[in-house]
Structure formats: structure tokens, C-alpha cells
Amino acid sequence: MSNYVQTGEGRRTILQVSKTDADGNTVSGYPVQYNILSAFTDPVSSINYAAITSTDYARLTSTQFNARLAAFVNYVKSLHAGIENDIASLSSGCYVAESPTCVVNIVVPGGGVD
């Protein structure tokens, strides 16, 4: 028997960063996509996060998910100076309600107990 409960809430995995010039044209090399499932290092805490599967990501407890998300936000911000001026919170929109059909780039969490 599983210890995981279907919550109906999905966790996004892809963050796309776009950059435009003063005229509104996309800057060369953009957009850039980052995947929270990939390995990365939090530049603030120096904690290394290993690559994980979508199943493991879905099964993260809320505490584990929030820690990985905060570290991921730090990582992406470190790669794009000034991004915090454009995006108040990279973590906003990290959850999405699931529809009856599968949505690309969304992993349905198991809802484990913290």
C-alpha cells in the first residue's frame, strides 16, 4: 500500500527566462529554460542538489519541495543578474491545478506527510 495521496495539485518543473531589449526584441541566446529536476548548486548555501526523477520530485514532502524550490530560485537568480527586479518571486506559479488530461512539464505530487 502506498504512503502517497493524490492531491490534484501539480508541481511545475520548467522555468523559462526571457530577456528583451529596450525595443521589445528578444535578446540573442534567450529564452533559456531551467529544469528543477536537474542537478544544481544553491549559490547561497553551497548545497548541491542531485538530479531527480519526476516520480521522486512528486514524492518530495512539502518541506523538501520548498527547500529545493528556494535553492533553485537562488540558482537561477545567480545566473541572471537583476532578475529579481523583473520577477518578484520566481516561486509564484510553481503549483498548478491538474486537469483530467496530462499537462506537459507538470508533475503531480504524491502529497507525502511532513
pLDDT single digits (tens) 34-83 = 999 999 999 999 999 999 998 899 888 888 988 998 899 889 889 987 76
Taking only the tens place, the pLDDT of each residue in 83-97 is 654 544 555 555 555
Helices (H) and strands (E) in the chain, counts: 3, 7
Nearest-angstrom CA–CA distance, 114 and 63: 7
CA 17 to chain centre: 12
Nearest-angstrom CA–CA distance, 102 and 70: 26
Q: Are 10 and 31 in contact (CB under 8 A)?
A: no
Report pTM. 0.71
Is the pLDDT at 10 greater than 70? The verdict is yes
pLDDT at 13: 85
